[in-house]
Chain A
Amino acid sequence: MKILTILIPVYNTEKYIRRCLDSILLDEVLKDIEVLIVNDGSKDNSVKIIKEYEKKYPETIVFIDKENGGHGSTINKGLENATGKYFKVLDSDDWLDSCNFIKFVKKLKKCDEDLIVNPYYQEYVYNGVQLLFEYPKFEFDKIYHFNDLKIKDFNNFYFVMASSTYKLEVLKKAKLKLFEKTFYVDMQYNVVPVKYVDTIKFEKENLYRYFIGRPTQSMNVDSMIRNMPDHDKVFKFLISYYMQEKSNLSKIKQEYIRMIILLMAYTHINLIGMQWKNRHESYKLVKNFERYLRNTDQEIYQEIMKYSYMKYGKKVGYLNVWFCNKLFNKALRFASRVKRRICK
C-alpha cells in the first residue's frame, strides 16, 4: 500500500502542469506515492503532457480521463480511486516544494494521525511576492486531539486544502461528496471531514505553493463576483450541514465550523457589497440573504448580523444597497480600517 495518494485535478492547465508534476515525481518518493491525475475534459494539450509523464512513471501515475464536471467531480472521482493511506489534493497550477516533499513523505511513513497540517505559501508569481500561511499557536510534530484544541488558537486560520493531508479512511468515513460544476467546493472539503478527525499533527515543512494571480482563477475578485451563485450554494450547504450535525459535534468542532461559516459569510457580504453595478440585483441578494439567515441557526444569524454592513443595512431596510451600495461599502471599510488602527 502506498503511503500517499496525491490527486491532481486537471482542467486546461497545459502551461502549468509540468511544474506541478516535476515537483512531486522525485526518485526518493516514487515508490511511496500514488499520483492520481483526473482530467476534467481539458480542451488544450494537458492530456498530451500527462500521457508523456504517465509513460515515464507507469508505476506511480494513474490517469483518469472524464467529461467536464468541475473541480468537485474530480475530487469525488479521486476519492473513489485512491488507494494510499493518506490523501492530498494538489491543483495542477500549483506545486509542492520538492525538498520539503521528500522530508514530508519520509515522516508520513511513521504517522498515523487523521490529519497532517503543513504551512503553505501563496505565490503571486506575476510579481514574485509570496505570503506564508501557518498556524503559529500549535507546536510542530506534537500530536493534538481535535477536542483538546482551543478556538482562539486558530486565530481565524482554518485547515485549508493546501495545508491539509487527510487519512483516506477519514474522508471515506465522512462520505465526502462534493458538488459538481460548482466553484468553492474546497469549503466542503475543509468542513465535512472535521467530524471524523480525532488526531492532528502539525509539521514544519512548508509544502504547498498556491499559485495566485492568473486572471481566470476563481480567487480573483472579478471571478468571485461572477461566480457568486456558487458561493451562495456552498455557503448554504455549510449552514445546513452545521445545523444537521451540530448535535453530533463536540463543542470545539462546533466552534471551528462556525468560525469557517462566519469567515465565508464575511466574504459573501463583501461580494454583495461589490455587486454595485446592478443595484436591483444587490438589493434582492441582500434581502434574501438576511431572510435565509433568519430562518436558520440563530447563533450564526446573530453573529452575522453583527457585521456593520448587515447591522446598519437592516436599520434602513437595506435601502442603502439600492441607493449607494458602493459608497456605503467603502465607508464601512474605511471605518473598520480606522478602528483597527486605533485599536492597535
Chain B
Amino acid sequence: MKKILVISWYYPPINSSEGLVTYKLINNSEYQYDVFTQKKNENWSYGSNVDYENNENVNSIFCKSDNINDWVKEAYEYFVKNRKKYDIVMTRSMPQESHVIGLKIKENYPEVKWIASFGDPIKNNPYNPITYALYPYFSTKNMVNKNASWRWKLSPKRIILSSYWNYKNRATIKFRNEINKIEEDTIKYADRIILNNESQKRYMLKDNQEYLKKAIVIHHSYDSSLYPRIHKKHNEKMQFVFVGHLDLVRCAEPLFKAIKLLKEEIPDLSDRVEFLFYGDMGSNDKLFLIDNFLLDIVKIKKSVSYADSLKIIQNADWVLHFDANIGLAYDENIFFAAKIADYFGAKTNILAITMQDGDVKEILNKANALVLSYSAEEIKNYLYLILEEGFVLRRNEEYIKSFDAKNVAKEFDKIIETI
C-alpha cells in the first residue's frame, strides 16, 4: 500500500481551517499517511483547543522548533532521511512554505511523486493586498489606468511617479515576486495540483492552460464523526448563527443593512430573532451595528473552539455564510470556505450571501441553500419571508452527502491510485 508524507504547517492539535481540512481528508482515506507538522506555533490558527486523534492510518510527526524557517529545513531533512519509506509527498498551503519544501524535494529527487494542494490562490489573490493590489496608482497594471488613454499611459509624469513608487516599495515588491514564484513553480513541477473549486481552478490556471490536465478539484468535506450528538433544542427566538472570521472585505454589512430595514417593518424584531456572530468582526461592521442601534438583535460573541462551533451550528435555525465581494477584481467568486462543508454536516439551513457567479454559488444552489446577493433589499425580503411567512428550504441531502469526508476521500484515493 502506498505511503504518503503530508507536509502541513497546520494540523491538529493546532486547529486551523487548513489543518482541519487535511485532517478530515486523510483520516477518511484508505492509504497510510505520516504528517510532518508542528504543535508550538498557534499564530493564525484557532488555537490548540481540541486534540482530534488520528486514525490508525495516520501518524503525526512534530517539528522541534516553532519557527517556520526551521520547520522548512527540518521537513526537508526528515524526508531525505526517510525517503525510501514514502511513495508520494503531499504539501498543503497555507502557508506557502510547505510548497517550498515540495519544490526543494522535487529539485533534488525528481522521481518523487508530488501532490500540491492549494487552499486559496497565492499569486494574484484578490484578497491579499500584497499579491494582488500591490501596484502603484500610476502603474499601468492598476485597474484605473488599464483603460486610460495612450497619452496618459505614455506620459513622463506617470512613468516617473510609477518608477519612484516602485523604488520606494522595492522590498515589498521583491517579497511579492518571491511568493508569486512559489505558486508558478509549484504548478509547473508538481505531479498533481489539488484545488478546492472549479472557479479557483479556472482562475489559477488561466495563464497556464497546459497544466489543466494535472489539476483536480477536491472539495472541502465534513466529517460526521466530529459532530457532537445533541438533541436540537428549541430556541425561544429564531437564531441565525455565523461562526468564523469577518473583516473589512468579507463583511456582514449587507445583512446588517437588511436587518435595519426589517426593523422598520417589524418593530418587535429583537423579541423574535437573534443573530449571533462568533469570532472576529471588522470594525466597519461593529460601527454600523452601534450607529444603527442593532446590538439588541445582533450579538457579537467570543471565538469558540472548533468542536464548540460544530455544536453551535447544529443548534441554530439558520447558519450564515458571507463571501468577500471581489467583483471589482474578478467576475466570479474563487473562494470556497471550509465552513460551508461544516454547515452541510450540521444539517442546518444555510443563508449565504455571495457573488453572482462562481462554483461555490452553484454548490450552494444545488444543496438547496438560500443564496442571496449583496442587495440589502433582497436579503431583507427573505428575512421577512422567513420570519413572517414561515419560508423554509428543504436541503438536498443526497447532494450534500457527496461532501461527506468519506466520499471526498474516495475521490482523493483515486488520485493516489493513479499517480
A-to-B contact residues, CB < 8 Å: 19, 22-23, 26-27, 95, 97-99, 121, 123-128, 130, 209, 214
Find out whether the CB atom of A128 lies under 8 angstroms from the CB atom of B356: no
Name the residue on A nearest B253 (C-beta).
A128
A209 to B257, CA, bound (A): 16
A196 to B388, CA, bound (A): 39
State the main secondary structure of chain B at its contact with A: helix
B-chain residues with CB within 8 Å of residue A214 when the two chains form the complex: 356
Min CB–CB distance A105 → chain B (angstroms) = 14
- In addition to A124-B375, A125-B373, A128-B373, 4 A-B residue pairs with Cβ atoms within 8 Å of each other are A97-B377, A99-B388, A123-B375, A209-B378
Contact of B327 among A26, A98, A127 (CB under 8 A): A127
A203 to B382, CA, bound (A): 23
B182 beta carbon closer than 8 Å to chain A = no
Min CB–CB distance A13 → chain B (angstroms) = 13
In this complex, the member of A23, A99, A121, A124 whose beta carbon has the largest number of chain B beta carbons within 10 angstroms is A99
B-chain residues with CB within 8 Å of residue A97 when the two chains form the complex: 377, 381
B376 beta carbon closer than 8 Å to chain A = yes
A127 to B375, CA, bound (A): 7
A209 to B389, CA, bound (A): 19
Contact of B385 among A98, A121, A126, A128 (CB under 8 A): A98
Name the residue on A nearest B365 (C-beta).
A15
Name the residue on B nearest A121 (C-beta).
B377
B325-376 contacts to A (CB < 8 Å)? 325, 327, 355-356, 373-376
Min CB–CB distance A96 → chain B (angstroms) = 8
Contact of A209 among B355, B377, B382, B384 (CB under 8 A): B377
Contact of A128 among B375, B384, B388 (CB under 8 A): B375
Find out whether the CB atom of A26 lies under 8 angstroms from the CB atom of B374: no
Name the residue on A nearest B266 (C-beta).
A99
B150 beta carbon closer than 8 Å to chain A = no
State the main secondary structure of chain A at its contact with B: mixed
B: number of interface residues (CB 8 Å): 20
Min CB–CB distance A131 → chain B (angstroms) = 11
Contact of B389 among A19, A27, A95, A125 (CB under 8 A): A27
B256-291 contacts to A (CB < 8 Å)? 257, 265
A122 to B378, CA, bound (A): 12
B102 beta carbon closer than 8 Å to chain A = no
Name the residue on B nearest A22 (C-beta).
B385
Contact of B374 among A27, A128, A209 (CB under 8 A): A128
A98 to B384, CA, bound (A): 8
Find out whether the CB atom of B377 lies under 8 angstroms from the CB atom of A99: no
B-chain residues with CB within 8 Å of residue A209 when the two chains form the complex: 375, 377-378, 381
A27 to B388, CA, bound (A): 10
B-chain residues with CB within 8 Å of residue A26 when the two chains form the complex: 385, 389
Name the residue on A nearest B379 (C-beta).
A128
A95 to B384, CA, bound (A): 14
Find out whether the CB atom of B375 lies under 8 angstroms from the CB atom of A125: yes
- Contact sample, A vs B, 5 pairs, CB 8 Å cutoff: A23-B381, A26-B385, A99-B381, A124-B375, A127-B325
Min CB–CB distance A126 → chain B (angstroms) = 5
Find out whether the CB atom of B384 lies under 8 angstroms from the CB atom of A125: no
Find out whether the CB atom of A128 lies under 8 angstroms from the CB atom of B381: no
Decide yes or no: A98 and B377 within 8 Å by CB, A125-B356, A128-B254 being known contacts: no
Find out whether the CB atom of A98 lies under 8 angstroms from the CB atom of B381: yes
Contact of A99 among B254, B374, B375, B384 (CB under 8 A): B384
B391 beta carbon closer than 8 Å to chain A = yes
Min CB–CB distance A6 → chain B (angstroms) = 16
Nearest 9 interchain pairs by C-beta: A128-B374, A125-B373, A125-B375, A99-B265, A123-B375, A128-B254, A98-B384, A99-B384, A98-B381
A98 to B388, CA, bound (A): 10
Name the residue on A nearest B355 (C-beta).
A126
A124 to B378, CA, bound (A): 11
Find out whether the CB atom of B381 lies under 8 angstroms from the CB atom of A95: yes
A-chain residues with CB within 8 Å of residue B377 when the two chains form the complex: 97, 121, 123, 130, 209
Min CB–CB distance A329 → chain B (angstroms) = 15
Min CB–CB distance A132 → chain B (angstroms) = 11
A103 to B157, CA, bound (A): 60
A322 to B407, CA, bound (A): 64
Find out whether the CB atom of B378 lies under 8 angstroms from the CB atom of A125: yes
B-chain residues with CB within 8 Å of residue A121 when the two chains form the complex: 377
Name the residue on A nearest B356 (C-beta).
A126
B-chain residues with CB within 8 Å of residue A27 when the two chains form the complex: 389
Decide yes or no: A127 and B374 within 8 Å by CB, A26-B389, A98-B385 being known contacts: yes
A-chain residues with CB within 8 Å of residue B384 when the two chains form the complex: 98-99
A127 to B376, CA, bound (A): 10
B-chain residues with CB within 8 Å of residue A128 when the two chains form the complex: 254, 257, 325, 373-376
